Structure formats: C-alpha cells, structure tokens
Structure 1
Amino acid sequence: MDFTIYHGLLLLTVGLFAGVINTLAGGGSNLTLPALMVMGMPAEVANATNRVGIFLQCLTGVLGFKKHGKLDTDDVAPILWPTLVGGLVGAVAASYAPSWIIKYLLLGAMLAMAALMLIKPSVVAPEAGTEARKMKDTPSAKWSLAVAGFYGGFVQAGVGFILVAALAGSLRYDLVRANALKLVCTIAFTSVALVVFIARDQVLWLPGLVLAIGYIIGAHYAVKFAIKAAANTLKWFLFVMTLVGCIAALWF
C-alpha cells in the first residue's frame, strides 16, 4: 500500500476528531476505521492498525485526568482484570473472524446503547452526588466489564459507550470519572489486542503512528474540556455520539 501526503493529512484530521470523541464519549473509530479502509486496508488490518493510536490516545487522556484529580486509582486493579480477560478473548476472536461480523456487532451495540439512554438515561449518567460503588461490593460489575472487554478486543469502535455503561451503570461513577476509568480499561485490552495483532502481522506501523498523532492531540484538548464542562453537556454529547455511532454503523 502506497502511503501519500494526502493519506497522512486525512489520518491526522480524523485522528484529532476521533481523539476528542473517544475521550468524552466513544465511537471515534467510526471515523478512523473507514479512513483506513479507504486507503486500501482490509477490515481486519484497519482494525489492528487503529489500535496503535487508540493506545496512545488513552495514555494521553489518563495522564490528563490524573493530573486534574479525576482518576480514581484505588479500584483500578479490580476493574481491570475482567476487562483484560474479555479483551484477550475478543482480540483472538477478531483475528480469525470474518470481517462482516464487525459491522453487525457494532450496529447492535450502538442501537442497544441508544435505546438504553432514551429509556433509562440515569443508568449511564448518574445524578449529581451519587456515590460510586466499589468492585468488591458490586460483584455483578465484573460481568459487564468482561463483556465490554470482549467487545473492545473484538471491534474497538464504540467500546467507550459500553465501558461508560458498565462503569456508570454498575459502579455509579459520574461521567468524568467514568471516562477516566474507561480510558484505563481501554489501555488494558488494547495492549492485549495489539500483542495478538502484532503477532499475526496485521499492524501497518506508518499509518498507525501518523493516526496516533491526531489521536493524542484530540485527547489532550478533550480532557481540558471535560474538566470544565457541565455534567448535562457531557450527557448530551454522549447521547449525540451514540446516535452518530448508529448511523455510522449502518453506513459502514
């Protein structure tokens, strides 16, 4: 595949927007996956290459949220292990699965999330002042996190929505802290997924790293916005991005 200046500018642009969307909600890969595939990559290679930027974007976001005191680190380990197990299983499945499955899994997840936010929005956006729960007091949360990890390991696109639903719905974190922990979880299963994809030689490094630059810039500015934004603004942004995700899944 020939990598041109046009390709580089395209990836930088969509990466920047995707970095913002992923950090504040989810679904940024609905932009980046089609952009990679337009360049001639098969779906499974685009899916693998996209993870390079996802990893670096999440690292940027986590460091930003931690700097502003919005990352609850005391419950990270219990949250991570079911996510990692799910991510490993999902990544192995994705590396062997036919590419058409990705579209239908993405569409189903986006429709389910949109329906949940319409029917019971408090599940993914707890009321202000709601006290977060600990993993040890909420054993059912490990199953929702494992499912989110599997989905993230398999397709990545839209996993932010699934993780926010698990963290805000099961553990009752507010949207800012749920987004911070979401990025930690995404780092975990993306690391596992990258190992699998690299081992199977499915990552194209040059476009992956150029895309990552856009992701990093977007994540940096998204954290600054999230810290200052009202909770209701973040909730509506999450809802709008869910609807966009549904449309993108149909188009994709």
Structure 2
Amino acid sequence: MNAMIMTFSAGMVAGAMNALAGGGSFVSLPALIAAGVPPVQANTSSTVALFPGGLASAWAYRDGARSVGAVPIRALLAATLCGGLVGALLLLRTPSATFSFVLPWLLLAASLALAFGRRVGEALRARWHIHAHAVLALQFGLGIYGGYFGGAVGIMMIAVWGLLDNGDIKRLNAPRTLLVSAANTVAVLAFIAAGAVRWPETLAMLAGAVIGGYGGAHVGKRAPANVIRAVTLCATACITLVFFLKTYAPTLLQH
C-alpha cells in the first residue's frame, strides 16, 4: 500500500512537472526504483505511466504539426518511429546492472539539455546550418534516445531543428510534441508486448500523472516562468547528483 501511495504521489509530481517545464521522468523513475521495481522495468513502467499525458498534449497540438524547414513531418515521423523502436529494443536487452551504471549519465545529459538546450540551440543556429538529410539522421538518433530513455528529448529536438529552420521556435512546439509522443508510442507498445511493465505501480503512477498534469497546467498559467524553471532545474540537478553518488561513491570509497 505504501508503494502504491508513493508511486501515485510521484505520478502527480511528474505529471505537473511535464505540464510546467518537463523533466517528469526525473521523479517517476527514481520513485519506481525506490518502490522496488528493477531499474530497466522502472524505466519502461515510467514511460508507460507518463505516456497518456504526452499523448493528450500531442492531440492538443495536432493542427500545428507541419514540416520543419524543408523536411516533411512524415519523414521526421518515420525516422522517429524507427529510432524509437530501436531504442526500446535496446533497453529491453540491457541488463539491469548495466542500465544502473549508465543511468546517472543519462540523467546528466537530460539535466544539461533542460538547463542549456535552448541556449545551445540559439548559439549553434547563429553559426551553423545543416542539410535536411543530416536532420533526418539526427532525428533517428534522437528517436533511439527517446525510446531508450527520453529525458528532455523534446528540447534536444528543437535544438537540432533550429540548425535547419530559422523560424519562430514556438512554431516547433507542435511537431516536437507529436514526435516525442511518436517515440513514446512505439516504445510503450514494445514494452507492453515484451511484458516489461509492472502494472500495479504503473497504473497508480498513471492516475497520479493525469491529475498532476491537469493541475500543473492550471498552475503554469499563474506561476512565474522563471520560478518554475528554477525549481525544475534544482530538482533535476539534485536527483542526478543522488544517482551519481549512489552508483559511484561506494566504488570510490573502496579505493
């Protein structure tokens, strides 16, 4: 019962974070691991639990999902779906010990993307412009990352697309939301088909995420954006540090 309460509460927080600034998996994944779910299964279950909220956002943005620069949205969608499936299959074949070892680095990559992704994208956009074929190759790679882990992948997509499309960044929110959901969709289907989801904890977290996402959307209309961003970055940095200490501190102390 305590595990169900914890995962439901974590789902509420994760759903609210995704509605406000992203980074919900920083809460959902550690909560599932703390509830006794093995790391790989915790990641698959977290993806499934947070999936409906992302799908709802994609539906809300459906009318704005257009091409990015010269790259048709269908080509980006195909690259993302293929990459998402590859990433999901890679995760399913990753031993829990290996995933536990690389998890802090995945969290660090996501933290840096949340903190600096937009700035890096703007800086690169001022100096570089890449071909559409290169964008599709990068999109396939981002699809793999999305299917395997996915933290802050939407921000990474916008940073890459900015090298191709110099238009309004806000216009990229619709295709970003659609393609993040695409990677998650194929991953969720693969995880369910493989029987890699812990359903009791997942369903409790999913219910909490729906409530948290709805509440977070209303909070986001009133709370200052800089405060939301600061709290999100602080939380993600602290969680990443905890995982680094948990994974590597015992080894360092032995030496």
In the superposition, the TM-score normalised over structure 2's length comes to 0.74
Take 2:234 and 2:134, find their aligned partners in 1: how far apart are those partners? 28
Does the 8 Å contact 1:25/1:241 carry over to 2?
A: yes
Show structure 1 runs of 5+ residues with no match: 127-136
Take 1:165 and 1:238, find their aligned partners in 2: how far apart are those partners? 18
Distance 1:193 1:35, change over 3 A: same
Does the 8 Å contact 2:121/2:163 carry over to 1?
A: no
Which runs of structure 2 are paired with 1:177-188 in the superposition (5 Å)?
177-188=171-182
Take 2:161 and 2:50, find their aligned partners in 1: how far apart are those partners? 19
Distance 1:238 1:88, change over 3 A: farther
Q: Which amino acid is the alignment partner of residue 66 of structure 2? A: D
Does the 8 Å contact 2:107/2:151 carry over to 1?
A: yes
- Aligned residue pairs: how many? 232
Does the 8 Å contact 2:6/2:35 carry over to 1?
A: no
- By how many angstroms is 1:40 displaced? 0.4
Which runs of structure 2 are paired with 1:15-26 in the superposition (5 Å)?
15-26=11-22
Does the 8 Å contact 2:158/2:176 carry over to 1?
A: yes
Distance 1:89 1:229, change over 3 A: farther
Does the 8 Å contact 2:83/2:142 carry over to 1?
A: yes
- By how many angstroms is 1:54 displaced? 2.1
Name the residue aligned to 2:92: 95
Deviations 1:108-151 (Å, cap 9, x if unpaired)? 34335534555x46369x9xxxxxxxxxx844332332222111
| 2:214 pairs with 1:251 | no
Quick check: which has more Rg, 1 or 2? 2
Name the residue aligned to 1:44: 40
Does the 8 Å contact 1:61/1:219 carry over to 2?
A: no
Q: Which amino acid is the alignment partner of residue 241 of structure 1? A: T
Take 2:107 and 2:9, find their aligned partners in 1: how far apart are those partners? 23
Name the residue aligned to 2:108: 107
Distance 1:207 1:96, change over 3 A: same
Return 186-195 or 153-162, whichever deviates more.
153-162
Deviations 1:168-211 (Å, cap 9, x if unpaired)? 56445656544443332222111211232223321012221221
Take 1:55 and 1:24, find their aligned partners in 2: how far apart are those partners? 16
Take 1:48 and 1:39, find their aligned partners in 2: how far apart are those partners? 14
Distance 1:171 1:95, change over 3 A: farther
Show structure 2 runs of 5+ residues with no match: 68-72, 126-130, 244-255
Distance 1:32 1:141, change over 3 A: same
Does the 8 Å contact 2:110/2:151 carry over to 1?
A: no
| 2:69 pairs with 1:78 | no
Q: Which amino acid is the alignment partner of residue 122 of structure 2? A: S
Take 1:235 and 1:166, find their aligned partners in 2: how far apart are those partners? 24
Q: Once the two structures are aligned, what percentage of the paired residues are identical?
A: 28
Distance 1:235 1:64, change over 3 A: farther
**Aligned Cα root-mean-square deviation (Å):** 3.5
Name the residue aligned to 2:214: 220
Q: Which amino acid is the alignment partner of residue 208 of structure 2? A: G
- By how many angstroms is 1:225 displaced? 6.2
Name the residue aligned to 1:64: 60
Q: Which amino acid is the alignment partner of residue 40 of structure 2? A: E
Q: 1:14 aligns with which of 10, 16, 22?
A: 10
- By how many angstroms is 1:44 displaced? 0.5
